[in-house]
Amino acid sequence: MIRPSLLLGALLGLVTPALSAVADEPDANVLYNHHCAICHGVSRLGGIGPALLPDNLSRLKHDEAFEVIRDGRIATQMPAYGELLDDAEIAALAEWIFEAPEVEPSWTDDDILASHVVNHAYGTLPDEPVFEVEDLKNLFLVVEIGDHHVSLLDGDKFERITRFPSRYALHGGPKYSPDGRYVYFGSRDGWVTKYDIYNLEVTAEVRAGINMRNIAVSADGNYVLAGNYLPHSLVLLDARDLDLIATIPVEGLNGDTSRVSAVYTAPPRNSFVAALRDIPEVWEIRWPEERADGDETIVGDFALHRMEAPDYLDDFFFDMEYRYLVGAARGGQGGQVFDMDEEVKVADLPLEGMPHLGAGITWELDGRRVMAIPHIDKGLVSVFDMTDWSLITHIETDGPGFFMRSHENSPYAWVDVFFGPNHDRIHVIDKQSLEIVETLIPEPGKTAAHVEFDRRGETLLLSIWDDDGYLLWLDANTLEELGRMPMKRPSGKYNVWNKTQYEEGTSH
């Protein structure tokens, strides 16, 4: 990994100086600007890394901050600075980030409105695609985080239709409109971008926050919801041109405000569900339903419903009907199943450490529905029976994984080994025997991660996650390699059909 400080030095044309020798007492401000600002923002407002402000760090202890700077943070882009900085410098930084900044950061409705750009107003571009493909529902988008671009691929011929620049550090899956024509991207530093796939044009953009987690698009295609770490808010946008509808401050029943860990769409409930990091509540926002009243169409109001959760729940997985929410606090003890209709906890799950619930998938096994969850801190995939939430098995893998994928038509579930010495491996699990039947090493030494299937489940795409990486596609049944395409650190891949149909083997 390139250290951000070296990168910043290179960008500024500097030879990295021995900063500790410049002054007797470590100057945290100088250290910050040199080592941290490129990821955490010049004013500590966040960027690829989170904002480093006291309000944002409410659940981080001071000694933990020291450890994170020294050792890095598992499962994030945060590198270890222990070899570059001495203990006094790390301590100075760890102390300083808890001090209030001289200027209070804020991102108001006026800031949101001022950032709003509409390049092509809704309805002004042609409705016919400017390119020809066999099947518009079998297109793929691939996010390339190496140089912040997105590729659009024909999912039948595996040819690139276009490649366009994205905002810095997209995070979370792009979300399609229900008809698959438009796609919405969210960046870590708060930008929401709407792209018209038929016309290959960015139509509108708006900055919803300083440090954003992800976005969700309502199943009716009318609304976009952005969840922020900073400020502590949800931002509701009109999906047509990303006009601001409302900013919803996230304040709990106990008066504390909270970061939003993620927002999700729950189609059968006509609602968005928000995972909150700092308050033990789950929020549901029902979007207005249209109803005919004579010649008029009445659109109701948005309704915010707060559910008191048994614990902090900031990483979610839902059952197919979106009644049950499986939640866990990151780093907390165990997962919990929360019934959103009855608003009660119905089960505890033995998910210790860091399960990655957001990457879970589900399938039918012996007439019952199961869910499988990888873990970020250990080489395990946990498989649960969703009829009674009992543990079926833990499948041991060659290291902690990040993403899981399958498809209704595929006998296999795929899990990567994202962390540790075996990060170039990817496992193929038989969905019926629950055993690893194949372990591929497509490129020794390079991370192989994140699988996505084509709409029929016949071909799958896999990322070689490297700046000089590539996309690999394989026959989903024989596992034979069919082709590759060079890409700059390809991360997530998203098939229009699988996403718009809420296919069971993919993330939603």
Q: Which residues bind ligand DHE (CB under 6 A)?
A: 75-77, 145, 171-173, 214, 261-262, 358, 402-403, 491-492, 507
Residue number, 214 or 258, with CB nearest to ligand DHE:
214
Residue type, 336: Q
Contact 187, 172 (CB under 8 A): no
Residue number, 335 or 358, with CB nearest to ligand DHE:
358
Residue type, 126: P
Residue number, 74 or 100, with CB nearest to ligand DHE:
74
CA–CA gap between residue 388 and residue 503 (Å, rounded) = 23
Q: How far is the CB of 50 from ligand DHE (least distance, A)?
A: 7
CA–CA gap between residue 59 and residue 98 (Å, rounded) = 11
CA–CA gap between residue 487 and residue 148 (Å, rounded) = 11
Q: How far is the CB of 313 from ligand DHE (least distance, A)?
A: 12
Residue number, 34 or 171, with CB nearest to ligand DHE:
171
Distance of CA 358 to the CA centre of its chain: 8
Residue number, 92 or 359, with CB nearest to ligand DHE:
359
Q: How far is CA 269 from CA 80, 94, 292, 360, in A?
A: 43, 43, 20, 20
Q: How far is the CB of 176 from ligand DHE (least distance, A)?
A: 12
Residue number, 89 or 454, with CB nearest to ligand DHE:
454
Q: How far is the CB of 27 from ligand DHE (least distance, A)?
A: 27
Q: How far is the CB of 465 from ligand DHE (least distance, A)?
A: 8
Beta-bridged to residue 337, according to DSSP, are 326, 347
Q: How far is the CB of 167 from ligand DHE (least distance, A)?
A: 12
CA 159, 165, 167, 169 torsion-angle sign: positive
Contact 395, 491 (CB under 8 A): no
Q: How far is the CB of 75 from ligand DHE (least distance, A)?
A: 4
CA–CA gap between residue 208 and residue 483 (Å, rounded) = 39
Q: How far is the CB of 433 from ligand DHE (least distance, A)?
A: 25
CA–CA gap between residue 275 and residue 398 (Å, rounded) = 30
Residue number, 402 or 453, with CB nearest to ligand DHE:
402
Q: How far is CA 302 from CA 242, 299, 345, in A?
A: 17, 9, 26
Q: 337: number of CA atoms within 13 Å, CB side?
A: 19
Of 184, 108, 205, 93, residue with least CA distance to 141: 184
The CA angle 455-460-465, to the nearest 5 degrees, is 130
Residue number, 74 or 88, with CB nearest to ligand DHE:
74
Give the burial class of 163: count Cβ atoms within 10 A of its Cβ; 0-12 exposed, 13-18 middle, 19 or more buried: middle
Distance of CA 505 to the CA centre of its chain: 17
Report the first-to-last Cα separation within the chain, whole angstroms. 30
Residue number, 87 or 468, with CB nearest to ligand DHE:
468
Beta-bridged to residue 186, according to DSSP, are 192
Residue number, 228 or 507, with CB nearest to ligand DHE:
507
As given in the structure block, the two tokens for residue 409 are: 């038509």
Q: How far is the CB of 23 from ligand DHE (least distance, A)?
A: 32
Q: How far is the CB of 172 from ligand DHE (least distance, A)?
A: 3
Beta-bridged to residue 10, according to DSSP, are none
Residue type, 238: D
Q: How far is CA 148 from CA 151, 237, 489, in A?
A: 10, 24, 9
Q: How far is the CB of 294 from ligand DHE (least distance, A)?
A: 39
Residue number, 8 or 170, with CB nearest to ligand DHE:
170
